[in-house]
């Protein structure tokens, strides 16, 4: 912490490391063996759309990149009730590496085209024991947390904390629970 940050009470944000998404496949193995949660094969990237032709071209390029290969997963672009755009990738649950590569590519292309300021999070879905949760990567923090909805505006905090504790050695987990955003009705969850 720098001296001025200490005086003003500010903290530096953690550096974003999109390559942390490539750690999710090994974390998925841990979740399956330790807790019985399996990947659903669905992942998504949430971002704030920008206006203009450049953004539209970039979004079209991203969906074309993933959709062009017949062996790649299905892609859908949706908007939530808060106006955020979700690019949802539906693939084979056994191909976590491919899913994470696709999510990484979406984030990277948006970054490279100058839209990094609009990136919010990426999410990979898991289910098991009649429960489901999303492993959420906070773009601006460079950390993960679990979001486990149980009903309309209800969440399973015990599952979220258990996932955090199980993956603490494998992923950079978000310790500040105030940053564990509730992603109600998130596409792909």
Is the residue at 189 inside a domain? no
Is the residue at 5 inside a domain? no
Is the residue at 88 inside a domain? yes
d(CA 155, CA 133): 9
Residue for token pair 């669905």: 42
* Residue pair 53/188 in contact by the 8 Å Cβ criterion: no
Query: Is 111 in a helix, a strand, or coil?
Result: helix
Cβ atoms within 10 Å, residue 36: 12
What pLDDT shows up at residue 127?
95
Is the residue at 4 inside a domain? no
Name the domain count of the chain: 1
Is the residue at 186 inside a domain? no
Kindly give the confidence (pLDDT) of every residue in the chain, 189 residues in length, as a single tens digit, with 9 standing for 90 and above: 555 565 666 555 445 788 999 999 999 999 999 999 999 999 999 988 777 677 777 777 777 777 666 666 688 888 888 888 899 999 899 999 999 998 998 888 888 888 888 899 999 999 998 899 999 999 999 999 999 999 888 999 999 999 999 999 999 999 999 999 999 889 888
Is the residue at 184 inside a domain? no
Domain with 165, as residue range(s), is 17-179
Question: What's 70's domain CATH number?
Answer: 3.30.70
C-beta pairs of 114-120 under 8 Å, 24+ apart in sequence: 114/54, 115/47, 115/50, 115/55, 115/58, 117/48, 118/47, 118/48, 118/49, 118/50, 119/45, 119/47, 120/46, 120/47, 120/48, 120/84
Is the residue at 56 inside a domain? yes
d(CA 45, CA 170): 21
What pLDDT shows up at residue 151?
87
């Amino acid at each position: 912490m720098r001296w001025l940050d200490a005086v003003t009470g500010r903290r530096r944000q953690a550096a974003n490391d999109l390559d942390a998404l490539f750690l999710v496949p090994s974390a998925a193995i841990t979740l399956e063996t330790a807790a019985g949660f399996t990947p659903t094969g669905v992942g998504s990237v949430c971002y704030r759309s920008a206006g203009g032709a450049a953004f539209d071209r970039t979004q079209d390029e991203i969906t074309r990149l993933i959709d062009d290969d017949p062996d790649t997963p299905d892609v859908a672009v949706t908007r939530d009730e808060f106006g955020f755009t979700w690019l949802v990738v539906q693939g084979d649950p056994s191909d976590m590496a491919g899913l994470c590569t696709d999510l990484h590519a979406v984030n990277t292309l948006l970054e490279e085209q100058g839209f990094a300021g609009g990136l919010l999070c990426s999410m990979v879905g898991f289910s098991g024991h009649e429960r489901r949760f999303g492993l959420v990567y906070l773009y601006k923090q460079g950390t993960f947390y679990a979001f486990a909805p149980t009903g309309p505006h209800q969440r399973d905090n015990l599952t979220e904390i258990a996932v955090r504790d199980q993956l603490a050695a494998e992923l950079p987990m978000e310790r500040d629970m105030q940053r564990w955003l509730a992603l109600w009705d998130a596409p792909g969850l």
